[in-house]
Structure 1
Amino acid sequence: MTSRIYILLLLALTFSSCNLTTSPKVGALGDHAMVVSAHPLSTAVGLNVLKQGGNAIDAAVATQFALAVVYPRAGNIGGGGFSVIRLTDGSIAALDFREKAPAQAERKMFQDSLGNVVGELSTIGHLAAGVPGSVAGMWELHQKYGSLPWADLVQPAIDLAFEGFLITANEAEALNEKQEDFRQANHYRPWVVRENGWQANDYVNQPQLAATLSFIRDSGRDGFYKGIVAQQIVKEMQRGNGLVTHEDLQNYEAIWRAPLVGTYRGHRVISMPPPSSGGVAVLQMLQGAELLNVGRYEHNSTNAVHLMAEIERRVFADRSKHLGDPDYFQVPVQQLLSPDYNASRFADISIDQTTPSTDIQGGEVPYESPETTHFSIVDADGNAISTTTTLNLNYGCKVWVKGAGFVLNNEMDDFSSKPGVPNFFGLIGAEANAIAPGKRMLSSMTPTIVEKDGALKMVLGSPGGATILTSVFQTVLNVIDYEMTMQEAVSAKKVHHQWLPDQIKAETDAISLKTIEELEQLGHSFEFVDKIGRNDCILVREDGRLEGGADPRGDDKAAGF
């Protein structure tokens, strides 16, 4: 079968999957399996793997590599992420393939001689890049759980890169927004730079990326962390005064960690532990929502939004003070998730007034000893994987590795460049998230799986920087408290509060004018934005069928069979 025919079949799969039903209220339905990702072609790749007899982890590997081709602003081999897994026998696992600081990184590397943070150093250019983890993560997933040959899972991405595809309007807009950054960050002209800009349905093929993926196909993780690709990365670092070395690449390892487990209204919630802040934060928020019975109030009503904001500001204050890489800092996870601690933490929330964020600090606990992408997959045997990966900002640090065809992350900005100074997303950090050689930067990625009565119920996750935490939190509430379909829960307008700045960020039309006035009377202020989050989730319905909720805020696609 030629590559061209294969890609046409992928397109056909995307739009005509068996038993697939869509409507404004109900997402794609599948009797046996489901894939939801940020791009129609990556969803089609994952679904085709499942149809060929692969399991959910096989499909995840193939989907991730396809995203690196068709969704380069966030899909990647130059970034990193997390996966949460639940197998059909109920066993659970969590894989950390978050990027790491290079060995030459040092605490004040983004400060000037006066101690002032130079923000652009951690967001644009070679110095902003951490050691990538995505390829190591996919390799580790496959080594432990894969059933189909590795080469068969990487090949679809190679075909897409070599043969090419038509870009969407959203991707054209994203490329056009970053043209000047691409010119500034690169010493040569990568393919993304185009004098007359990009338009929907422009044809893109990436032979250099196809070659890089071929090395990964043939040599596994060594095809990226050693050999020609590693040489290209290191040469690129040397050209731009970056820090990643051959030793950094060779020493990188993905790490299996124990998932965090909590409950919400009779459901078991499984999420990612540090260095992701997502699991701790969402489980804290859910404890607060249950204690205050947020679900008794109408969706996005004055009382519901007020209580969510009050819960969220306290959780984000805790995030700032306590969370970081557990291999470098003693993170008090169990204490932060203690029901006694959270009962005390949320006890001073009033339904009648706000608590200014200036009056809230990270809680005192006893220590013992914006751009990301997410996909959710369930296979025919009931195995499930929730994976979130990132470059940090759209197209990472904007540096394209010459000859290799992929862009590097700017995850060094997720460290606390200086205690008390916000990063790009406005998040405040402290000692727990200070820069150190080999350390993994704190993340907001929140891949999550929910069970009910011992059975799989939901697979969840979202991109969106700090708003990931609140997007996943609200999606859980939407399904459990407000009895929405998965598509309704994903599509529903979101709100967000992250402690500092002290304001509610809300999507346009998320709340009524009357509700805004009532919340302002309570002491809240607002910032309105076009989009919050981009959830791609799966719900196991009462009839046993799988519903995929693909976020309408992007080109996201759900497909099942």
Structure 2
Amino acid sequence: MVVSAHPLASAVGAEIMRRGGNAADAAVAVQFALAVVYPDAGNIGGGGFLVLRQKDGTTAALDYREKAPAAAHRDLYLNEKGEVIAGLSLKGHLAAGVPGTVDGMVQLHQKYGKLPWAQLVQPAIDLAAQGFPLTRKEAIKLNEQREDFLQYNTLRPEFVLSNGWKVGDTLRIPDLARALESIRNQGRAGFYEGLTADLIEAEMKRGKGIISKEDLANYRSVWRNPIKQQLGELEVISMPPPSSGGIALVQLLTLSQDYPLHDWGWNTAQTAHFIIEAERRVYADRAKHLGDPDFYQVPVQGLLDTSYIKSRMRDFSPDKATDSDDVSAGTPAPPESPNTTHYSIVDPEGNAISVTTTLNSSFGSKVFVAGAGFLLNNEMDDFSVKPGHPNSYGLVGEDANAIEPNKRMLSSMTPTILEKEDQLYMVVGAMGGSTIITTVYQIIQNVTRHNFTMQGAISAGRFHHQWTPDWVLSEWGALGFGTGLKLWLRGHKIAPKTGGIGRAAGILVLPNGQLEGGADPRGDDAAAGF
């Protein structure tokens, strides 16, 4: 089974497995297909993280997060007075980090792939060259982004000049098809060297960006040890830093163990109050302690220590909200020596992979690489451009996530796999910037504590708190008027969130061994299985 953000991409992954490919093969094919059919987040100009579990129980995590260019520096987005220049880290050429997606897919295939590389890239080439029908949501998004595309592109792709896209229109991207052909024929060198690298550098020079051909040539993905934590009968396997997702998720799930959420009920005032207060403390830790472990000593074991995690709720009141100004990061033991997309895959042999990939904001920096047809990310905004200054998701950070050359920016991506009694149980992840962690957390709770189906857990209404700003974002109907009133009386400030919180893709292994897919109704997401 494959669950992804677009039905065509899910179908590509399922077909790869029908031909004898494994989960890693399908992941590569889905990644490239999403770069065509879901251009607002699927990408070859961005990056991501993945967690995998082989059928024998072995696990691994791959970090193909973007990096700051070598010419980047701490004050890159500040004016001469030390003030943040609005929008500079969000849109345009200077917002882009060095892309990691292609290198990540090459490394995944080299280590775990089964089918020939060319077979995995070809479906995306066909989609880009022959065209594909736009969904209603994708047509709307292209129309909404047109002005930004016109403003931030030095040489505009032909389809950007079109206006009034509508459902069913065929979108063809021949430049992207040619770029993908180079990747098919030359692998890593087809992107980080040669013509595509020349086109990226030329684009940077025209738009006053700072990614160089040396940055591209020097980029490498990193295999890391996943975060693994036993919580009752479940083992959580998730992404380590520079993603904050795995640590934050384990902290939230650990805090939840001591409270009777099932008895309190799903999204009742008592349950929601506890979750909000737990999220407030976890996000305070995120802001203080998490960053790229290659540049900053992240106290991973201290943050995952059960006693430390539970100590964070000592001042929790069951009747009153805590003011975020009164909540600071804890002091864990020191270290020993919106736009993203997620897809989940389980292959016929029982290998599983959970992949979250992104350009950061929807359509990234809005900049297409002229002649290559793909968008560049705006991941530089995920750094702390200035200590205490919020990014586009309202997240603040400190020195752990300050800009440095060749450094990976902190992320909220939370690709996750759960085991139950040493067997594969769930594959899950989400998009949604800072809401990714809380989305994945609530989905897991919905299944394990409230007995939801996989689809029900993903469809259910969600809410979110991230320490600062001190607001509870809530989808319409997620809490209900009565629950919202009770939370308000306890001191919580609730802000309705239009358009949904996060979009998730999950697969649950049922007791009889069958797979249940959960595709998010907030988008065009689809499950494809056989």
TM-score greater than 0.5 by the shorter chain: yes
Give the SS at the match of 1:248.
helix
Give the alignment of 1:21-60 within 5 angstroms: 34-60=1-27
Give the alignment of 1:238-387 within 5 angstroms: 238-368=205-335, 369-387=337-355
**2:502 counterpart residue number:** 533
Give the SS at the match of 2:331.
coil
Tell me the distance in 2 between the aligned counterparts of 1:113 and 1:152: 52
The amino acid that maps onto 2:479 is I
Residue 480 (structure 2) aligned to one of 485, 505, 512: 512
* Aligned 8 A contact 2:4 2:525 in 1: yes
Which of structure 1's runs of 4+ aligned residues deviate more than 3 A?
none
Which digits, 9 at most, give the CA deviation of each residue in 1:141-179, with x for residues without a partner? 000000000000000000000000111111111111211
**1:442 counterpart residue number:** 410
Tell me the distance in 2 between the aligned counterparts of 1:197 and 1:234: 32
* Aligned 8 A contact 2:228 2:235 in 1: yes
The amino acid that maps onto 1:236 is E
Give the SS at the match of 1:157.
helix
Tell me the distance in 1 between the aligned counterparts of 2:142 and 2:154: 18
**1:149 counterpart residue number:** 116
Following TM superposition, by how much is the alpha carbon of 1:192 offset from its aligned partner in structure 2, in angstroms? 4.2
Give the SS at the match of 2:49.
strand
Structure 1: gaps spanning 5 or more residues: 1-33
**1:557 counterpart residue number:** 526
Residue 224 (structure 1) aligned to one of 180, 183, 191: 191
Tell me the distance in 2 between the aligned counterparts of 1:375 and 1:119: 33
* Aligned 8 A contact 2:301 2:333 in 1: no
The amino acid that maps onto 1:390 is T
Tell me the distance in 2 between the aligned counterparts of 1:196 and 1:463: 28
**Number of paired residues?**
528
**2:89 counterpart residue number:** 122
The farther-off stretch of 191-200 and 78-87 is 191-200
Following TM superposition, by how much is the alpha carbon of 1:195 offset from its aligned partner in structure 2, in angstroms? 4.8
Which digits, 9 at most, give the CA deviation of each residue in 1:373-394, with x for residues without a partner? 0000000000000000000001
The amino acid that maps onto 2:110 is Q
1:175 corresponds to 2:147: no
Among the aligned pairs, what percent are the same residue? 57
Kindly tell me: are residues 264 and 362 of structure 1, through their superposed partners in 2, closer, same or farther at Cα, counting changes over 3 Å? same
Give the SS at the match of 2:344.
strand
Tell me the distance in 1 between the aligned counterparts of 2:155 and 2:202: 13
**1:210 counterpart residue number:** 177
Tell me the distance in 1 between the aligned counterparts of 2:276 and 2:301: 23
Tell me the distance in 2 between the aligned counterparts of 1:401 and 1:392: 17
Tell me the distance in 2 between the aligned counterparts of 1:194 and 1:167: 16
Following TM superposition, by how much is the alpha carbon of 1:367 offset from its aligned partner in structure 2, in angstroms? 1.4
Which digits, 9 at most, give the CA deviation of each residue in 1:435-489, with x for residues without a partner? 0000000000000000000000000000000000000000000000011110000
Tell me the distance in 2 between the aligned counterparts of 1:117 and 1:231: 31
**1:468 counterpart residue number:** 436
Tell me the distance in 2 between the aligned counterparts of 1:119 and 1:304: 38
* Aligned 8 A contact 2:176 2:372 in 1: yes
* Aligned 8 A contact 1:289 1:295 in 2: no
Following TM superposition, by how much is the alpha carbon of 1:503 offset from its aligned partner in structure 2, in angstroms? 1.1
Tell me the distance in 2 between the aligned counterparts of 1:544 and 1:196: 48
The farther-off stretch of 78-87 and 345-354 is 345-354
The amino acid that maps onto 1:431 is D
Kindly tell me: are residues 254 and 476 of structure 1, through their superposed partners in 2, closer, same or farther at Cα, counting changes over 3 Å? same
Tell me the distance in 1 between the aligned counterparts of 2:261 and 2:68: 40
Tell me the distance in 1 between the aligned counterparts of 2:236 and 2:230: 5
The amino acid that maps onto 1:72 is P
1:493 corresponds to 2:457: no
Give the SS at the match of 1:466.
helix
**1:21 counterpart residue number:** none
Tell me the distance in 1 between the aligned counterparts of 2:189 and 2:508: 37
Following TM superposition, by how much is the alpha carbon of 1:538 offset from its aligned partner in structure 2, in angstroms? 0.2
Tell me the distance in 1 between the aligned counterparts of 2:345 and 2:255: 29
RMSD after superposition: 0.8
The amino acid that maps onto 1:163 is Q
Following TM superposition, by how much is the alpha carbon of 1:350 offset from its aligned partner in structure 2, in angstroms? 1.4
**2:511 counterpart residue number:** 542
The amino acid that maps onto 2:442 is Q
Give the alignment of 1:96-135 within 5 angstroms: 96-135=63-102
* Aligned 8 A contact 1:295 1:477 in 2: no
Tell me the distance in 2 between the aligned counterparts of 1:190 and 1:559: 32
Residue 381 (structure 2) aligned to one of 400, 409, 413: 413
Tell me the distance in 2 between the aligned counterparts of 1:556 and 1:191: 27
1:427 corresponds to 2:423: no
Tell me the distance in 2 between the aligned counterparts of 1:353 and 1:324: 32
* Aligned 8 A contact 1:74 1:373 in 2: yes
Give the SS at the match of 1:122.
coil
Tell me the distance in 1 between the aligned counterparts of 2:260 and 2:47: 36
* Aligned 8 A contact 1:272 1:446 in 2: yes
Give the SS at the match of 1:518.
helix
Tell me the distance in 1 between the aligned counterparts of 2:471 and 2:375: 34
Give the alignment of 1:85-96 within 5 angstroms: 85-96=52-63
1:396 corresponds to 2:364: yes
* Aligned 8 A contact 1:294 1:308 in 2: no
Tell me the distance in 1 between the aligned counterparts of 2:371 and 2:526: 31
Tell me the distance in 1 between the aligned counterparts of 2:279 and 2:64: 27
* Aligned 8 A contact 1:75 1:390 in 2: yes
**1:9 counterpart residue number:** none
Following TM superposition, by how much is the alpha carbon of 1:495 offset from its aligned partner in structure 2, in angstroms? 0.6
Which digits, 9 at most, give the CA deviation of each residue in 1:483-513, with x for residues without a partner? 1110000100001000001011000010111
